[in-house]
Amino acid sequence: GDSVTQMEGPVTLSEEAFLTINCTYTATGYPSLFWYVQYPGEGLQLLLKATKADDKGSNKGFEATYRKETTSFHLEKGSVQVSDSAVYFCALSDQGNAGKSTFGDGTTLTVKP
């Protein structure tokens, strides 16, 4: 079945540091890939997505590229802010699997001033 493996946390960075959160996946079909962010006390919200190989999703300074050859979708940001502190979830959606989304375990990011 489908699965998503993401970097274990927690991750603690200083403001303006570079962020990478690794994410790899296994899927039987051709999934769409997503990063969701969950701020404290809130629901998940879509951060960015990519629907086919080599697509790059970007939003709020975050980027991730759909790499089919390495089955990866790593999240990056060049300079993090305190307001980026949140839990980040990598996910895939496989339309051949009733559109079911599969989530990674989440990575908690804390950015210190």
Query: Which residues contact another protein by CB under 8 A?
Result: 32, 34, 36, 38, 42-46, 49, 51, 87, 89, 93-95, 98-101, 103, 105-106, 108
Exposure string for 46-85, b = 16+ CB within 10 A, e = fewer: ebbbbeeeeeebeeeebbbbbeeeebbbbbebeebeeebb
Considering beta carbons, is residue 87 or 111 the nearer one to another protein?
87
Residues 26 and 14: their CA atoms lie apart, in Å, by 32
Minimum Å gap between C-beta 94 and another protein is: 8
Considering beta carbons, is residue 99 or 113 the nearer one to another protein?
99
Considering beta carbons, is residue 22 or 108 the nearer one to another protein?
108
Minimum Å gap between C-beta 18 and another protein is: 24
C-alpha to C-alpha distances, 31 to 4, 40, 50, 55, 66, nearest whole angstrom: 11, 28, 9, 12, 10
Minimum Å gap between C-beta 57 and another protein is: 11
Q: State both tokens at 49.
A: 């997505």
Considering beta carbons, is residue 2 or 78 the nearer one to another protein?
2
Minimum Å gap between C-beta 88 and another protein is: 10
